[in-house]
Amino acid sequence: MSFKEQYWKYSLIIIILFMSVVLFLYFSPLLSGLLGASTIYILVRKQMFFLNEKKKYGKNLSATLILLETVLCFLIPLSLAVWLLIEELQGINLNLSASIESVQKVVALVKDRTGYNVLSSDNLMSIASYLPKIGQILIGSVSSFGVNAVVMLFVLYFMLIGGRKMESYFFDLLPFNNQNKKDVLGEIKMMVRSNAIGIPVLASIQGIFATIGYIIFGAPDPILFGFLTCFATIIPLVGTMFVWLPLTIYMGLSGDWLNAVGLAAYALIVISNIDNLVRFILQKKIADTHPMITVFGVVIGLPVFGFWGVIFGPLFLSMFILLVDIFKREYLNNNN
């Protein structure tokens, strides 16, 4: 390759990298929609090929049918869950005098037991400063979800239309030999399928068992806390403990020690073991992923990818390990 050709090649690479950074910065608010479309495409691509190639449906009709499936099986259930959660929040007793009295009792108990005044002026100022931010985050999250849902359906439609031609194009772009390309794509499919199916199943099962426990032991608003427990499953390391531990402490400080101890025992014995059992079954059925990859992947993924970080965080970490292994096999072992 002549000097001029090398100049053209590396100049083109630099231009592509620069434009990629610019595009990423401007499209980052829509990243959830793009990642969502990629995730669902991996899950439904075989359905698209079946409808288009086996059933001989047109690409537009096949893609439209799968979009309807996505709306019915993903967007509507998720929207319904959020709506039910909002309904539960609105159904909470908002009697201010009763609420203040309950809070004062808990604060007094904490102060008697620990000597720490929760409602000091500094703490009150700190809590008050966060309230407007929480409201802004909630409003922004709802609007962002709506925009990214539209983006997800729009991008998914054209990914389905592209189909095998799109896959072949990206396959050619991967900087590996054919075997390593297959390994990389296989890892992506396995991790996406594992997390996209496993996380909702795990969250639903834990939420159901947690709600049963909350009802048995007389926790306040068991349906609400059951929903919160579902969403808490994605929190790294802490998980459902983020919900049931403060709830048991509140019940104990309120004087209901018997039910508080019972709920804590139920959570440790049942909810935690259900978590481990379901993860074990899913890993054996779908993907045998090391727990450290899942935990640290979610820690990395949530700040970077938002909601989809529970899928793409572990995928990112798993891909990093795979690429290091490819480098070792191809370039280090061959030099021995």
Q: DSSP per residue over 98-111, as a string? A: HHHHHHHHHHHHHH
Residues 40 and 181 in one domain: no
Residues 205 and 264 in one domain: yes
Distance, in Å, from the CA atom of 159 to the CA atom of 41, rounded to the nearest integer, reads 7
N- to C-terminal Cα separation, the chain:
29
Cβ atoms within 10 Å, residue 221:
16
Residues 138 and 218 in one domain: no
Residues 311 and 227 in one domain: yes
Residue 14 lies in a domain: no
Q: What is the DSSP secondary structure assignment for residue 57, as one 8-state letter? A: -
pLDDT of residue 289: 63
- Higher-pLDDT residue of 81 and 179 is 179
Cβ atoms within 10 Å, residue 157:
17
Residues 181 and 161 in one domain: no
Contact 49, 159 (CB under 8 A): no
User: Of 182-191, 229-238, 309-318, where does the model show the most confidence?
Assistant: 182-191
Distance, in Å, from the CA atom of 222 to the CA atom of 245, rounded to the nearest integer, reads 14
Domain of 214 in residue numbering reads as 172-336
pLDDT of residue 173: 86
Residue 122 lies in a domain: no
- End position of a domain, from candidates 142, 165, 188: 165
Answer yes or no: is pLDDT of 61 > 70. yes
- Higher-pLDDT residue of 41 and 328 is 41
Residue 4 lies in a domain: no
Distance, in Å, from the CA atom of 332 to the CA atom of 21, rounded to the nearest integer, reads 31
Residue 43 lies in a domain: yes
Residues 209 and 279 in one domain: yes
pLDDT of residue 97: 46
Q: Which amino acid is at 150?
A: V
Among residues 232, 252, 242, 244, the alpha carbon closest in space to that of 269 is found at 244
Q: What is the mean pLDDT of residues 22-33?
A: 84
Residue 15 lies in a domain: no
Residues 147 and 198 in one domain: no
Task: Please give the share of the chain, as a percent, with pLDDT higher than 90.
Answer: 17
Q: What is the mean pLDDT of residues 247-260?
A: 82
Residues 155 and 211 in one domain: no
Task: Please give the share of the chain, as a percent, with pLDDT higher than 70.
Answer: 74
Contact 79, 71 (CB under 8 A): no
How confident is residue 122, by pLDDT bands cut at 50, 70 and 90?
low
Residues 85 and 151 in one domain: yes
Answer yes or no: is pLDDT of 103 > 60. no
- End position of a domain, from candidates 141, 165, 189: 165
Answer yes or no: is pLDDT of 166 > 70. yes
- Higher-pLDDT residue of 94 and 159 is 159
How confident is residue 327, by pLDDT bands cut at 50, 70 and 90?
confident
Query: Cα dist. 212→77, 208, 278 in Å?
Result: 21, 6, 17
Contact 322, 190 (CB under 8 A): no
Q: In the chain, how many domains are there? A: 2
Contact 248, 263 (CB under 8 A): yes
Residue 252 lies in a domain: yes
Contact 40, 156 (CB under 8 A): yes
Residue 10 lies in a domain: no
Which residues make Cβ contacts (< 8 Å) with residue 225, sequence separation at least 6? 210, 211, 214, 219, 243, 244, 247
Distance, in Å, from the CA atom of 249 to the CA atom of 264, rounded to the nearest integer, reads 9
Residues 149 and 222 in one domain: no
Answer yes or no: is pLDDT of 336 > 70. no
Residue length of the chain: 336
Rounded to the nearest integer, the mean pLDDT of the chain is: 78
pLDDT of residue 48: 93
Residues 158 and 245 in one domain: no
pLDDT of residue 161: 94
Q: Which amino acid is at 309?
A: G
pLDDT of residue 288: 59
Q: What is the mean pLDDT of residues 178-182?
A: 84
How confident is residue 87, by pLDDT bands cut at 50, 70 and 90?
low
Residues 285 and 222 in one domain: yes
Answer yes or no: is pLDDT of 131 > 60. no
Q: The tokens of 180 are what?
A: 């390593």
Residue 277 lies in a domain: yes
Distance, C-alpha 53 to centroid of its chain: 33
Contact 239, 310 (CB under 8 A): no
- Helices (H) then strands (E): counts for the chain: 13, 0
pLDDT of residue 75: 81
